[in-house]
Structure 1
Amino acid sequence: MLKKAVHIVLASLLLVSTVGMAVSKHYCRGDLVSVSFFHEAHSCCSMAGCCQNENHFYKVKDDFSSPAVLAVPLLAEIDILGQQFFQIETLLPENNKNTQLSYSDSPPPLTVREVLAREQLYLL
């Protein structure tokens, strides 16, 4: 229950901060008399010169948009791997350079039943 309440509070805080919030303050003879959100503060008297209203609008300036997709330069990594491959290839004996691996004669992958049979323990 507390987790849901925290999520609701955080979501409403994010909503209010991105939409913005108008705060209106009413001062009478230098003292704060009333504060209201989203509309004008109520005036305490009709005498001119003794009251003052202040209006502020608060809003988060970030737009929270996702950043553009960055293209990571993979050429440097490919170069490094290529250089290492060529260094390893020069260390190999001459007769092993022409060997090719063939996967056409490899056995089929194990089925689920065969894998389970290998991992089970049989009590006799």
Structure 2
Amino acid sequence: MLKKITHTLLTLVIFVLTTGMTFSAHYCGGNVKDVSFLSVTQSCCENPEGCCHDEAYTIKIENDFSISSYSFDFTQFEIVLPILIELIKVEDPIKAKVYSLRNTIPPPKIQTILSSLQTYLL
């Protein structure tokens, strides 16, 4: 459930950032007075005397997420593969120890009467 929610939120974030998001800010005297995401910001004074101005900001990722071609360098495996083979030691099954259970006593037999404990539905 948590994985689905995380995937949905990340998909939404990528969607918003790739399509772009614009917000506007109203500055009065160099200080931010109003920020709006879906509408135009409201002016703080009725007569703009040059101290107020509006700015619009757009947040958008310009990256292209599609892969046109990809090539893989297999020469690195030629170097690493012999080292990995040496690190992985395969034990010979013939030399492996075989444990014998011929002389051990079997566990005691436990009998349970399940028919007296169960309910049969007809």
Residue 76 of structure 2: aligned partner = none
Q: In the alignment, what sits opposite 1:44? A: 44
Aligned-residue Cα RMSD (Å) equals 2.5
**Aligned counterparts of 1:8 and 1:42: Cα–Cα separation in 2:** 34
Is the counterpart of residue 55 in structure 1 residue 56 in structure 2? yes
1:1-124 correspondence to structure 2 within 5 Å? 1-48=1-48, 49-68=50-69, 70=71
Counterpart CA distance in 2 for 1:39 and 1:64 is 30
Q: Which runs of 5+ in 2 are unaligned?
A: 73-122
Question: Number of paired residues?
Answer: 74
Hey, what's the Cα distance between the residues in 2 that align with 1:30 and 1:14? Answer: 32
**What letter is aligned with 2:61?**
V
Instruction: Indicate if the aligned counterparts of 1:25 and 1:36 stay in contact, CA closer than 8 A.
Output: yes
CA contact 1:22–1:39 (8 Å) conserved in 2: no
TM-score normalised according to structure 1 size: 0.50
CA contact (8 A) 1:26 1:51 kept: yes
Q: Secondary structure at the match of 2:22?
A: strand
Quick check: 1:24–1:56 contact (8 Å CA) kept in 2? yes
